[in-house]
Structure 1
Amino acid sequence: MLRLQDNQGRTFPYLRLSVTDLCNFRCNYCLPDGCEEHHHKESLTVDEIRRLVTAFARLGVEKVRITGGEPTLRHEFNSIVTTIKQIPGIQTVAMTTNGYKMDQRIESWLEAGVDAINVSVDSLDARGFETITGHNRLQETLSGIDKGFELGMTGFKVNAVLMRGHNADQLPDFLNWIKEQPITLRFIELMQTGDNQDFFNQHHLEGSTVRDQLLESGWVRVARHKSAGPAQEYFHPDYRGRIGLITPYSPDFCEDCNRLRVNSLGKLQLCLFGDQGYDLRHLLQNDEQQPELISRIQNFLQLKQDKHFLQNGYTGGTATLAQIGG
Structure 2
Amino acid sequence: MNFQPPALLDGHRRRFHYLRLSITEVCNFRCTYCLPNGWRKADEAHPASYLTVAEITRLVRAFAGLGMSKIRLTGGEPAVRKDLADIIAAVAATPGIDKVALTTNGWNLRHRLPEWRAAGLTNLNVSIDSLVADDFHAITGHDRLADVLAGVDLAIGMQLPSVKVNAVLLRETAARGFDDWVRFVRRRPVSVRFIELMRTGDNADYFTAHHVGGSVLREWLEANGWCRAERRFDDGPAVEYTRPDHAGRIGLIAPYAPGFCDTCNRLRVTARGKLRLCLFGDGGLDLRDLLQDDADIPELRARVKSGLLDKAAAHFLHRNDPGATRNLAQVGG
The interval holding the TM-score normalised by the smaller chain is over 0.9
1:279 aligns with 2:283: no
Q: What is the aligned counterpart of 1:261 among 248, 262, 268? A: 268
* Separation (CA, whole Å) in 2 of partners of 1:306 and 1:157: 28
* Separation (CA, whole Å) in 1 of partners of 2:269 and 2:72: 11
TM normalised by structure 2 equals 0.96
Q: What is the aligned counterpart of 1:30 among 27, 34, 46? A: 34
1:122 aligns with 2:129: yes
Tell me, yes or no, if the aligned pair for 1:186 and 1:231 is still in contact at 8 Å: yes
List, as ranges, runs of 4+ consecutive aligned residues in structure 1 with deviation greater than 3 Å.
38-41
1:88-237 matches, within 5 Å, as: 88-166=95-173, 168-237=175-244
Q: What is the aligned counterpart of 1:11 among 9, 15, 18? A: 15
Tell me, yes or no, if the aligned pair for 1:3 and 1:58 is still in contact at 8 Å: no
Structure 1: stretches of 5+ with no match in the other structure: none
Give the secondary structure class of the aligned counterpart of 1:81.
Answer: helix
1:44 aligns with 2:44: no
The 1:291/1:155 distance shift into structure 2, 3 A limit, reads: closer
Q: 1:67 matched to which residue of 2?
A: 74
The 1:2/1:203 distance shift into structure 2, 3 A limit, reads: same
Aligned residue pairs total: 326
Tell me, yes or no, if the aligned pair for 1:21 and 1:40 is still in contact at 8 Å: no
- The one-letter code of the counterpart of 1:2 is P
The 1:217/1:166 distance shift into structure 2, 3 A limit, reads: closer
Offset of residue 170 of structure 1: 3.9
* Separation (CA, whole Å) in 1 of partners of 2:177 and 2:141: 19
Offset of residue 296 of structure 1: 0.3
Tell me, yes or no, if the aligned pair for 1:262 and 1:268 is still in contact at 8 Å: yes
* Separation (CA, whole Å) in 2 of partners of 1:146 and 1:243: 17
* Separation (CA, whole Å) in 1 of partners of 2:157 and 2:252: 27
Deviations 1:163-197 (A, max 9, x none): 11256414001101111110100000000000100
Offset of residue 155 of structure 1: 4.3
Give the secondary structure class of the aligned counterpart of 1:225.
Answer: coil
Give the secondary structure class of the aligned counterpart of 2:225.
Answer: coil
Tell me, yes or no, if the aligned pair for 2:41 and 2:47 is still in contact at 8 Å: no
Offset of residue 149 of structure 1: 2.1
- The one-letter code of the counterpart of 2:104 is T
Offset of residue 239 of structure 1: 0.6
* Separation (CA, whole Å) in 1 of partners of 2:175 and 2:116: 32
- The one-letter code of the counterpart of 2:17 is P
Deviations 1:51-91 (A, max 9, x none): 11111000000000000000011111000000010111001
TM normalised by structure 1 equals 0.98
* Separation (CA, whole Å) in 1 of partners of 2:231 and 2:182: 21
1:294 aligns with 2:301: yes
Paired-residue identity, %: 50
Offset of residue 3 of structure 1: 2.9
Give the secondary structure class of the aligned counterpart of 1:143.
Answer: helix
* Separation (CA, whole Å) in 2 of partners of 1:167 and 1:325: 25
Q: 2:249 matched to which residue of 1?
A: 242
Structure 2: stretches of 5+ with no match in the other structure: none
Give the secondary structure class of the aligned counterpart of 1:122.
Answer: coil
Q: 1:2 matched to which residue of 2?
A: 6
- The one-letter code of the counterpart of 2:52 is T
* Separation (CA, whole Å) in 2 of partners of 1:168 and 1:43: 40
